[in-house]
Amino acid sequence: MEAVVISWLSRLFRSNSNGANSDVGVGIFEVSSKPDHPLSFGYKVGWFAVATEDVALVARVLGLVGVQVANWQTGLKLAVKTNLLSGNPDRKVFLTPPLNGWILVVGGELPYPAELSGRDVDFNAITNRFDYLMLRLSSHFHEVQYFASHRVSDSVTWTRRTERMYRSFTYADGWVYLNRGSQTKEERELGMPDLTGMGQQAATDEIFGLLEKQQAEVDALCNSGLSRKEALQRLRRSAMPSETNVTELAGLWSLDPCQIEEHFHDLSTGLLGELRFDR
């Protein structure tokens, strides 16, 4: 199990460090405070959704340093390019202006929730940093959410915390790393498997058991004369967690960042700052 954890984390980190436009160093990228139109995002990135319209308060609660006004183009670019492999535990994040009552805290390599059985303290520290950020935010705001996905490791994660509920799920590399709390009605509406009460192994087995049944349904439809494309169109949503699940669920819980450009048009700016963690 420990080897699986290390494999997932190593490939997850490399996914962003070797991404597009990696030749543009953040050190030479100039931050602009000139207001611009909002930009969509949503894949290969992580973000907190905080129920507030006070962006300055969010920055203070997170303890950001070096805070400066930044527009969408430069703020998002710098935040998403932050790289865990740099050896620096600090992270740049971009705080959006208020969007229908939510402020999004965006970063390319934010920490994430998981229950790791490995003994490597460096990997466990990543989860500890997530818990630290979630605790700080949820202590000041009545609802805080977190979403992320990375394609190389097929990892997806979502968390929702209010005064009355705490739901958190993380999947990567064929394994459920975290399944805390009951399935929400929004997850159910999206056709996600109900994994309520299941541990890591049981939840993983349930997902792959459902996938086997779905594959058998597709094979039966193909044998009846349908093309594979037609058979897949008749199939209900796949049991495999996906990056599409992440953004669709965000749209039901708060807002889908993939649709920001469609719904928000006013020129605006956000804040760019740096998260500091204890070494």
Distance of alpha carbon 150 from alpha carbon 16, whole angstroms: 8
CA distances from residue 238 to 93, 152, 210, 214, 241 in whole angstroms, order as listed: 33, 19, 9, 8, 8
Give the residue among 81, 131, 76 at the shortest CA–CA distance from 105. 76
> CA angle 234-173-131, nearest 5°?
110
Per-residue pLDDT of the chain (279 residues), as tens digits, is 444 444 444 444 344 433 333 333 344 568 999 999 999 999 999 999 999 999 999 999 999 999 999 999 999 999 987 544 444 555 899 999 999 999 999 998 898 898 865 434 455 677 888 999 999 999 999 999 999 998 877 899 999 999 999 999 999 989 999 999 999 999 999 999 999 999 999 999 999 999 788 676 666 666 666 676 665 566 667 778 999 999 999 999 999 999 999 999 999 999 999 998 865
Token readout for 50 is: 């905080």
Domain count, the chain: 1
Question: pLDDT tens digits, residue range 223-250?
Answer: 666 676 665 566 667 778 999 999 999 9
Residue 71 belongs to what domain range? 2-192+241-275
215 lies in some domain: no
207 lies in some domain: no
175 lies in some domain: yes
216 lies in some domain: no
Dihedral sign, Cα of residue 246, residue 252, residue 257, residue 258: positive
145 lies in some domain: yes
16 lies in some domain: yes
Residue in this structure with the two tokens 């749209």, named with its chain if needed: 251
Taking the CA atoms of residue 115, residue 46, residue 84 and residue 21 in that order, the dihedral angle to the nearest 10 degrees is 150
